[in-house]
Structure 1
Amino acid sequence: MAVRIHPSILSADFANLERDLGAIATADYAHVDVMDQHFVPNLTLGLPVVRRLAQVSPVPMDVHLMIEDADRWAPEYAAAGASSVTFHAEAAQAPVRLARELRERGVRAGIALRPASPVEPLLDLLAEFDMVLVMTVEPGFGGQSFIEGTLPKLRRLRQAVRESGTGTWIQVDGGVSRDTIGRIARAGADTFVAGSAVYGAADVAAEIAALRELAEAPIQA
């Protein structure tokens, strides 16, 4: 099972985003959080910025939409240059239809769950999604502490992916660091979003490598 590290530019310097994207060239994707101050109590960036970042990023863009009316806006982010677009189950009226539309546009389709949202409604629909994102903090702000109670959800999801044979990626976003990534990987995640852990490090590339190694260890054991 491959391990993927997706540094979150929410923790980057917004005045130097192109520079800070260059710093994560050894990562698998750049994780871009889009927030609308309605679905979550924070406002970040939108379509024009994502479109421009996609033109200069050395790695593919993994866009995480924490916005209302995902059915309307998710395809626009696919058109803006994202390689993967993740929308929240709680914000989509027709998640399967939306995922199919994203795939038709040539991007990976992901669906996200807040920490308290159950994973069970998705288990029979895994073939419709390229990735399931389990939020391990409440969405809206970076730098929060990991919620341990989300680990059983990851275990149930990993078992379902294994049984289904879909190859759906399991992504975790929130509180990922050297201290937590090993047990998150043991619970079943294979794709890890890390913001402050990466951008707060003295050597960004070395931190990405360290997180990758720590995540691979329990998977290979």
Structure 2
Amino acid sequence: MKLKIASAALAAALLSACTSVPVRAPLQTVELEPAALAAAEARLAARESAVRALPELAFTGRVAMSNGRDGGSGRIEWRQASADYQVTLSAPVTRQSWQLRGGPAGARIDGLEGGPREGADVGTLLWEATGFEIPVTAMAAWAAGARADATTSGPAEVGYDAAGRLARLQQDGWTIDYLEWQPDPVAGGTPALPTRINAQRGEARVRLIVDSWAPGTTDAP
């Protein structure tokens, strides 16, 4: 228990040293007419197909996390190749950072007090090591405006705004609100991707601002 508290304190201190992530109200979901709903669902399906076809996906930005007691914000770098991921959280001022990498076989965290931690389940590993709940296995899909794999995250419900853009996604107990998108279309044929996202499940909250997307251009983690 003492080790978990120390690690959570270190993670909170790391994050709180960084620039905060501004809060913005979510987009309003509306009930679309049948033709508009069909067009919105077709756009969502096309984006999901395009995202899943990418061999690699990466973004950099700012993230804020809270668990109902502790929280803070920092820089985030996320690299994803299929189900394998590498996530780095850093505080430029203090030059502290911790890194998470893994995939279906398990995960490892480096940079926490007491040395590296490893575990078969990334969610359990993160909670036990830092006290934060982060939906790692689904986050890359959600961040890209796509539903996560239903075999691991369960069925999803979606809502659209008046313009037919994805405004809300609910899956695996999480509610993901899409607050801002890239302008459409994006050069290179990739559909517009989200740039500001809020995710919440119970007291766990994650706010993400994507400063730069690099779809299909990174090296494998």
Q: Same fold (TM over 0.5)?
A: no
Which is richer in strand? Answer: 2
- TM-score, structure 1 normalization: 0.31
The structure showing larger relative contact order (alpha-carbon pairs under 8 Å, at least 6 residues apart) is 2
Higher Cα radius of gyration: 2
Which is richer in helix? Answer: 1
